[in-house]
A and B are shown apart, each in its own frame.
Chain A
Amino acid sequence: MATGFIILAAVTLGAALASVMLRRLVHCALCWTLSMAGVAGLYILAGAEFLGLAQLIVYVGAVAILIVFAILLTQRRELLSIERLTAGSWVTGVAVAGLVAGCLWIGLAYTRGLGGAGGASGGPALETRELGELLMGRYVVAFEVAGLVLTVALIGAVILALPFEQPREASGRRADRPAAGEGWDARRQGGQGA
């Protein structure tokens, strides 16, 4: 079990490190995807089968694609290749990283454990069926609110993506279209009249 953990942790951390240090943005995005897959593996190793597989579906299957689309559809030539990310000295970087690590450590150390033998017995710590029953029973309000938030986000995305209607002028034509009598029609009529 320990070798599995070491390999997965190495993959996760290595990919995460690569995703902040590589020069090409798309490479960074793909390394981030790999580290998410590593995290999914760690979840499965810890006995959270459903969570690990859901992590794969959501992060590797959907969020990675989202990030990649975002990079590609909003690309500027110079951003695709990031030469130097660090603006200040490395001391600041180490200090900030230490601060974040300290906060995480304290948070984890003082978290109440959920109990259960976990992956040691070979099965998931929480059966998927129990997970489903909990989500629909005790935590149904949180579940529904999360669904509502996602629905609102989806509707907002659709509205943002709708084609933009130009404001209409008083004469009832769209602002971006020339009036009758101007443009190509006018030239043609002028030519025929001449």
Chain B
Amino acid sequence: MNMEGILALTGWGGLRWVGPVELFERGPVWLRDWAVGWLPEGAKVWAEGLIPAVAVLAVFGLLFGLATVAERKLLGRIQNRPGPNRVGPYGWLQFAADGVKMLTKEDVVPRSADRVLHFLAPIVMLAPVALSLAVIPYGRDLVAADPRCGLLFFFAVGSAAEVAAFMAGWSSRNKYSLLGAMRAIAQMISYELPLVLSALTVVMMAGSLSLVEIVEAQSGYWWGVIPRWHVMTPWGLAGLLLFMAAAAAASNRAPFDLPEGESEIIGGFMTEYSGFKYAIFFMGEYFGMFAVSGLAVTLFLGGWQAPLAVLEAAPSYGWFFLKLGVMIAWFIWVRGTLPRLRVDHLLNFGWKYLLPLGALNLLVAMVWRGLGGWAFPGAGAVRWLACLAMIGLPAILWGRLLMRSRGWGPRVYRYAS
């Protein structure tokens, strides 16, 4: 394999001609195998685990930097202004300047703060989230770890971030930090349930908890043109919308960013953090956003699959990162458009609206599978519409019922007579 890999990398036709398609597609895997091949036997096991981990962290670290600049520039464009455009070409090296700034800032710890917890909180926030990036398949055979319960591992590890939020808020000895931490934790645990429920629908339909198998269950095309992604089914579409709403709330992203809204509570549980620790929190938040976006891509958008059969020549990881970029751009667009939700509205939305709809989505997925036996012409469209009505009508009616019971609706003006 090593020799072939090296020869293939150089494009030498010694053993076998490798076209550019396969070179780009298999390149990372060949690189890893070649690097591991240089090491002695004992170190091979370590290297096989370490190299993908380092690669994932490096790629996502760079993506984090670029995402911060992209967010500021996109938000600026949404607000009719250019965003940062001084550092680097069109401002794209702003994250380097920000990184240097964060590193050189004085690390302020309040005198009455609990030093051990204050120090550990950013680490406890970042480590589990980075760990959850390990199970997402980035391309064909490009996954750092593929346990049989990959999805469960993702959620198990992601739930440790709430403890970190509490640690940060408590150790700061600041009533606003504590309040922000309480809100953040309440929000995170409230929205874990809809998140898991929409993911559960996918697990049920794909038949496996392993993310690699879920991606492979979405391969193939209907009539050769429409990819068999889960989002192309009514339960998948509803599931994606539910998942995106719950994911935005679970990673404290607008419009659910009350725990850290600057105009509400200064920094929430991150108020007393400065310099590098704040950068770690920030990175943890963005990694969380990447992780849930990556999971959404994997579960609903077909992971690394190409959308058309002719486009399969492009490398699989290219498709994954393109879809991930679309998700991130969507999050940024939502942030620039929607106003922030008040905390009780937020919790009501999670428990009273998303949770029942998530359970209903599970039912609709079962009905979809049950109706799969129809064979009359036009059956596909009828099945689609029936299942869409099954999830869409309750969504609309339930929303109206909830709003009416609270007395919300279009504003009615009464004039003094």
Contacts and interface: CB of A to CB of B under 8 A. Distances in A.
Interface stretch (A54-62, A138-146, A163-171, A177-185): A54-62
Query: What secondary structure prevails in chain A residues at the interface with B?
Result: helix
B166 A68 contact: yes
Given A49-B149, A68-B166, A61 B185 contact: no
B162 A65 contact: yes
B245 interface: no
- Among B159, B162, B192, find the residue whose CB has the most chain A CB atoms closer than 10 A: B159
| Chain A interface bracket (under 10, 10 to 19, 20 to 34, 35 or more) | 20 to 34
Interface stretch (A90-98, A104-112, A120-128): A120-128
B189 A60 contact: no
Interface in B140-183: 147-149, 152-153, 155-157, 159-160, 162-163, 166-167, 170, 178, 182
Contact of B117 (A30, A62, A123): A30
Contacts of A62: 159, 189
A146 B209 CA distance: 23
Interface in A8-61: 24, 26-27, 30, 33, 37, 40, 49-50, 53-54, 56-57, 60-61
A33 B153 contact: no
A64 B163 contact: yes
Nearest to A64: B163
Contact of A53 (B114, B152, B163, B185): B152
Given A50-B152, A61-B189, A26 B170 contact: yes
Interface string A52-95: 01101100111011001100100000000000000000000000
A57 B157 CA distance: 8
B17 to A, nearest CB: 38
B180 to A, nearest CB: 13
Nearest to A59: B159
- Among A27, A37, A57, find the residue whose CB has the most chain B CB atoms closer than 10 A: A57
Contacts of B155: 53, 57
Contacts of A53: 149, 152-153, 155-156
Contacts of A50: 149, 152
B189 A65 contact: yes
B340 to A, nearest CB: 23
Contacts of B159: 56-57, 60-62
Given A61-B189, A62-B189, A128-B148, A54 B156 contact: yes
B189 A49 contact: no
A26 B114 CA distance: 11
| Chain B interface bracket (under 10, 10 to 19, 20 to 34, 35 or more) | 20 to 34
Contacts of B170: 26, 68, 72
Given A53-B156, A57-B159, A68-B166, A128 B189 contact: no
B156 A56 contact: yes
Contacts of A123: 148
A65 B156 contact: no
A56 B162 contact: no
A49 B148 contact: yes
B183 to A, nearest CB: 12
Contacts of B209: 128
B189 to A, nearest CB: 6
A85 B11 CA distance: 72
A94 to B, nearest CB: 30
B163 A33 contact: yes
A55 to B, nearest CB: 8
A30 B192 CA distance: 21
B148 A124 contact: yes
Nearest to A26: B170
B310 to A, nearest CB: 36
A40 B160 CA distance: 13
Contact of A65 (B117, B148, B157, B163): B163
A123 B149 CA distance: 11
Given A60-B159, A61-B159, A128-B209, A54 B152 contact: yes
A128 B159 CA distance: 20
Nearest to A50: B149
Given A56-B156, A65-B162, A30 B149 contact: no
Contact of B147 (A49, A60, A65): A49
A57 B132 CA distance: 13
A69 B189 CA distance: 13
29 contacts: A26-B117, A26-B170, A27-B117, A37-B160, A40-B156, A53-B155, A54-B156, A56-B156, A56-B160, A57-B152, A57-B155, A60-B163, A61-B156, A61-B162, A61-B192, A62-B159, A64-B163, A65-B162, A65-B163, A65-B166, A65-B185, A68-B166, A68-B170, A72-B170, A72-B178, A72-B182, A123-B148, A124-B148, A128-B152
Given A30-B167, A49-B147, A53-B156, 20 more contacts: A30-B163, A37-B160, A49-B149, A50-B152, A56-B156, A56-B160, A57-B155, A57-B156, A61-B159, A61-B162, A61-B189, A62-B159, A68-B166, A68-B170, A72-B170, A72-B178, A123-B148, A124-B148, A128-B148, A128-B152
Considering the complex of A and B, which 8 residue pairs feature the smallest CB-CB distances, nearest first? A61-B159, A56-B156, A53-B156, A53-B152, A57-B156, A57-B159, A49-B149, A68-B166
